[in-house]
């Protein structure tokens, strides 16, 4: 899933969190499951990205004494900003997915 896909995913989740009418529940349940799967896949991607960012930051920190320190410090700052943004997005997504999973459970119990 592309980084700019999170707004579309969150919009879809918001739509699904609205109560469906009883006649819409089977189709809604399928959409809920698909959206949960997409959301968890996106969260896994964010976690993998976080791991790569942390690994690169560690490498840079170990190399600060070698070569162009200014360039490495600049890259380190950029990585830190990306890591912070990633963490914020991941935290928000996890909370939203918990709400969606609870909603899916409620819909399943009515079906």
Residues 59-109: pLDDT tens digits? 999 988 888 899 999 999 999 999 999 999 999 999 999 999 999 888 888
Q: Considering the domain boundaries, does residue 6 fall inside one? A: no
Q: Considering the domain boundaries, does residue 4 fall inside one? A: no
pLDDT at 91: 96
Q: Is 65 helix (H, G, I), strand (E, B) or coil?
A: coil
Which position has the token pair 């200014």? 70
pTM of the predicted protein model: 0.83
Note down the domain range covering 64: 25-110
Residues in the chain: 111
Q: Considering the domain boundaries, does residue 19 fall inside one? A: no
Residues 21-60: pLDDT tens digits? 666 667 788 889 999 999 999 999 999 999 999 999 999 9
Q: Considering the domain boundaries, does residue 47 fall inside one? A: yes
Which position has the token pair 């170990």? 62
pLDDT at 49: 96
Number of domains in the chain: 1
């Amino acid at each position: 899933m592309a980084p700019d896909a999170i707004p579309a995913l969150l919009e879809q989740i918001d739509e699904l969190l609205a109560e469906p009418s009883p006649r819409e529940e089977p189709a809604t349940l399928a959409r809920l499951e698909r959206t949960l799967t997409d959301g968890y896949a996106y969260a896994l991607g964010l976690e993998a990205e976080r791991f790569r960012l942390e690994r690169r930051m560690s490498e840079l920190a170990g190399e600060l004494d070698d070569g162009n320190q200014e360039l490495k410090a600049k890259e380190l700052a950029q990585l830190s900003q990306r890591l912070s943004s990633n963490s914020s997005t991941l935290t928000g997504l996890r909370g939203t997915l918990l709400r969606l999973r609870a909603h899916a459970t409620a819909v399943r119990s009515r079906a």
